[in-house]
Amino acid sequence: MKKLFLLFAFLVTAVGFSQNEQLAGYYYERSDFEKAKLSYEELLQTVPQNMQYFLRVIDCYQQLKQYDEAKTLLNERFAKYNQAAILVELGFNAHLQKEESKANSFYNKAIERIQKNAREVYSVANLFEQKSLLEYAIKAYDTATFVEPNYNFDYQKALLYGQMGNTELMINTLLDANFENPENSNLIKSQLARYLFDESDSSFSDSLRKALIIRVQKTQDVFWNQYLSWFYVQQREYGKAFIQEKAIYKRNPQSLGNIVGLAQQSILEEDLETAVAILSYITENTTDLSLLIQADTYLIKMKIDAAKQNDFPAINSALDALLSKYEISPFTLSLQLIQAHFVAFNLENPVEARAIVDRALKLQLNNYQIAQAKMELADIMLYEEKFNQALLYYSQVELDLKNDVVAHEASLKAAKTSYFKGDFKWALKQFKELKAANTQLIANDALEYYLLINDNTVADSTQIALKEFAKGDYLMYQNRNEAAIIQFQSILKQFKGQEVEAITLLRLGTIYEKNAQNDLALSQYQTIISNHADGIYSDEALYFSAEIYNKKLNEPEKAKPLYEQIIFNHEDSIYFVEARKSFRKLRGDTNL
Q: What is the mean pLDDT of the chain?
A: 91
* pLDDT tens digits, 288-316: 999 999 999 999 999 999 898 899 999 99
CA distance 276 to 279: 5
Q: What pTM was estimated for this model as a whole?
A: 0.76
From its phi and psi, is residue 523 left (phi > 0), alpha (psi between -120 and 50) or beta? alpha
Indicate if the pLDDT at residue 5 is higher than 50: no
Q: Which segments of 307-384 does DSSP mark as H helices, in order? A: 312-326, 333-345, 350-361, 367-383
pLDDT of residue 59: 92
Helix (H) or strand (E) holding 592: none
For the segment 393-407, the average pLDDT, to the nearest whole number, is 91
CA distance 142 to 121: 10
Q: Which of 108-117, 386-395, 435-444 has the lowest mean pLDDT?
A: 435-444
Indicate if the pLDDT at residue 199 is higher than 70: no
CB of 498 within 8 A of CB of 483? no
Q: What is the CB-side half-sphere exposure of residue 75 using CA atoms within 13 A?
A: 7
pLDDT of residue 124: 95
Backbone angles phi, psi at 199, to 5 degrees: -65, 140
Indicate if the pLDDT at residue 9 is higher than 60: no
Indicate if the pLDDT at residue 220 is higher than 80: yes
CA distance 449 to 391: 18
pLDDT of residue 18: 55
* pLDDT tens digits, 448-480: 999 999 989 887 788 999 999 999 999 999 999
* pLDDT tens digits, 532-586: 988 899 999 999 999 999 989 999 999 999 999 999 999 889 899 889 888 888 8
pLDDT of residue 497: 87
